Amino acid sequence: MRFGPEQLALLGDTGEVEIETRRGDRRYRTVIWIVVDDGEVFVRSVRGDAGKWYQRALSDPDVTLHVDGTVIPARAIPAEDPETVEQVNRALREKYRPGGSLDSMLRSQVQEDTLKLEPV
């Protein structure tokens, strides 16, 4: 299953989104980067597996994206295979300007902390 064209365009054109994760009955929102590549949607934890939102998404993969007033439910799936990691690296380089923030997202220590998002 894939996101619709309007959702892909919105996510692809937006630099930062809020991802809503849950622990029990509590909901948390965190601002993160997002990339779309070949119709697939990916996010990565800049803090690696120490990122709280990332830990919650692994524990309960039903997440919600909040983008410019649009709510997009999704399921987070680990995407740590080398081909996908490199795909996401390329997409990050294409979307975000060079600098320290991008360098942090491309560190080898966080590359395996990539999640593919699928619509629910």
Residue in 54, 37, 30 with CA at minimum distance from that of residue 92: 37
Mean pLDDT for the stretch of residues 17-28:
97
Domain enclosing residue 39, as ranges = 5-119
**CATH code, 95:** 2.30.110.10
pLDDT tens sequence across 25-46: 999 999 999 999 999 999 999 9
- How many Cα atoms are found within 13 Å in the side-chain-facing hemisphere of 60? 17
Whether the Cβ atoms of residue 37 and residue 13 lie closer than 8 Å to each other:
no
Q: With pLDDT > 90 as the criterion, what percentage of the chain qualifies? A: 98
d(CA 13, CA 95): 9
Whether the Cβ atoms of residue 72 and residue 4 lie closer than 8 Å to each other:
no
Mean pLDDT for the stretch of residues 5-18:
97
Whether the Cβ atoms of residue 33 and residue 92 lie closer than 8 Å to each other:
yes
Tally of domains within the chain? 1
* pTM (predicted TM-score): 0.96
